[in-house]
């Protein structure tokens, strides 16, 4: 497959590259690319908020995995029956504990991730 380059003021559309390669009609003018950059800069506040939420979700996932490992070490007596419903309820409870802990910022993993990743915005 040969690519004909006839205008040096065009930029390849990244979506077309991911979906099977470049085609001559899928090149976009540089002005469109500048518009995309301006729109991205205008949405920086929204992007920062989304990044923080993603960092908090990742921290919550990590905390939840730690809590799962801790729960696995707890031994239960035969005095109280434990069924599938109890296991599901406890799992959901600890997921919520992890989500709330990540939102408080008490552990700090989300803030460290945000600080590292926000420099790339």
Tokens of 49: 């908020």
The pLDDT value recorded for residue 120 is: 74
Q: For 47-88, how does the pLDDT look when each residue is reduced to its tens digit (9 = 90+)? A: 888 889 999 999 999 999 999 999 999 888 888 888 899 889
The pLDDT value recorded for residue 32 is: 74
Read off the pLDDT of each residue in 13-34 and give the average, rounded to a whole number.
Answer: 55
The radius of gyration of the chain's CA atoms, rounded to the nearest angstrom, is: 24
Say which residue, 44 or 20, is predicted with more confidence: 44
pLDDT of residue 107 exceeding 60: yes
Say which residue, 29 or 94, is predicted with more confidence: 94
Q: Between 84-104 and 44-72, two packed helices, what is the crossing angle to 10 degrees? A: 140
How far does the chain reach from its first CA to its final CA, in angstroms? 35
Average pLDDT taken over every residue of the chain = 78
Say which residue, 36 or 7, is predicted with more confidence: 36
């Amino acid at each position: 497959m040969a690519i004909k380059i006839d205008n040096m003021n065009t930029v390849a559309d990244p979506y077309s590259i991911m979906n099977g390669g470049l085609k001559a009609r899928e090149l976009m003018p540089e002005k469109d690319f500048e518009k995309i950059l301006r729109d991205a800069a205008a949405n920086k506040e929204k992007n920062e908020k989304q990044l923080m939420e993603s960092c908090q979700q990742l921290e919550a996932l990590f905390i939840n995995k730690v809590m799962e490992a801790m729960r696995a070490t707890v031994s239960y007596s035969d005095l109280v029956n434990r069924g599938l419903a109890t296991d599901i309820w406890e799992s959901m409870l600890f997921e919520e504990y992890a989500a709330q802990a990540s939102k408080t910022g008490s552990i700090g993993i989300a803030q460290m991730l945000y600080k590292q990743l926000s420099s790339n915005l």
